[in-house]
Structure 1
Amino acid sequence: MKIVDRIKLFIEYKNVSLRKFDESIGMSKGYMSRQIKSNASVGGDVLEKIIDTYPDLNPIWLLQGKGEMVLPPNVINEQGIGYSSASDAFANTLLQYFDHPEIRKKIGDIIDQHLQDKQD
C-alpha cells in the first residue's frame, strides 16, 4: 500500500470530504483527489502539512504502514506531535526533531528521495 492509499484511508476515517481535507492542509481544490486517482506520490512538503494539521495521525503508519493509523490521545505531546509507542525510541527521537526546520526539511528530502527511488 502506498502513502497516498493510507492518506485516503485516513480521510475516510476522519469522515471529511477531499475538498475539506485539501483546505485543511492548505492545498488547492482537487489536489488530493488527483493524487489518489492517479496513484501518485505525495511530496514531503505535503506530508509535513498533513502531519502538522492532524497530530492524531501516526506518522510512522503514514510513512511506513506500521502500527495503528491513529495515535491514542495519551501519546500526543503538548506540541501536538504524536509518538507511536513508548518502546519505539528511534521514532520518538525522530519526531521530537520535527520542530526544527532544517531537520524537518532533511527528513522531507529523504522521504522524497525514497519515494522517487521506488518509482524508478
Structure 2
Amino acid sequence: MSVISKRIQEYLDAKGLSARQMSLSIGKGQGYLADALKKGSSISVDTISEICDAYRDFNPAYLLTGKGNLLLSTNKVSEEGAVYQPQSKLDKAIDDRIDQRIDLKLEEKLESDFTNDIITEFIRNQIEEELAKVQKENSK
C-alpha cells in the first residue's frame, strides 16, 4: 500500500468511514478507493484534491508528507470564548445529537409561532366581523 493510501485509510478509520463512502462523496465509482487501497495503487493528484475539498478536516499536509496532525482543528467556541474540541467519535456523536435536538426545537418553535399567527389572525377576523355587526346594528 502506498504511503498516501495508508494515510487515507488512517483517516477513514479515524472518522469511521468506508472507502466506498469516500469514493461516492468525491464523485467516483463505489469501488474506486477500495480497489486502490487494497492494491496499493497510486492515487492521482486530482483525486487527492477532491478528497481534501470534500473532507475539510483532513490535513492535506499530513496526507502528502505525514507531518502535522491527521485532522485539522474543528474547534467550537463557546459563548464564554473557551475552545471546545470533540476528542472522540462519541464526542462527535453527542455534538451531532445536540445539534439535531436544537434544530428540532427551532423547527417546533417556528411551527408554534406560525400556528399562533394563524390563530391570532382567525381571532382578529372574528372580532372584526362581530364589531362590524354591532356597528351595523347600532347605525340602524
TM-score tier after normalising by the smaller chain length:
0.5 to 0.7
CA–CA separation in structure 1 for the residues paired with 2:72 and 2:19: 22
Written as runs of structure 1 = structure 2, the 5 A alignment for 1:103-114 is none
**Number of the residue aligned with 1:61:** 62
Measure the CA separation in 2 of the matches of 1:58 and 1:21: 15
The number of equivalent residue pairs is 74
Q: TM-score, normalised by structure 1?
A: 0.58
Q: 1:65 Cα shift?
A: 0.5
Counterpart mapping for 1:1-40 below 5 A: 2-40=3-41
The alignment partner of 2:48 has SS state of helix
Q: Secondary structure of the equivalent of 2:71?
A: coil
Partner SS for 1:69: coil
Gaps of 5+ in 2: 76-140
Which residues in structure 2 correspond to 1:44-83 (within 5 Å)? 44-74=45-75
Higher RCO (CA < 8 A, seq sep 6+): 1
Q: Quote the Cα distance in structure 2 between the aligned partners of 1:4 and 1:61.
A: 12
Bigger-Rg structure (1/2): 2
Cα offset, 1:26, TM superposition: 1.0
CA RMSD of aligned residues (A): 1.2
* TM-score relative to the length of structure 2: 0.50
Identity %: 36
Q: Which runs of 4+ in 1 moved over 4 A?
A: none
Higher helix share goes to which structure? 2
Distance 1:37 1:18 in 2: 10
Q: Which runs of 5+ in 1 are unaligned?
A: 75-120
Deviation sequence 1:41-69 (CA, Å, 0-9, x none): 10011001001001111100000000100
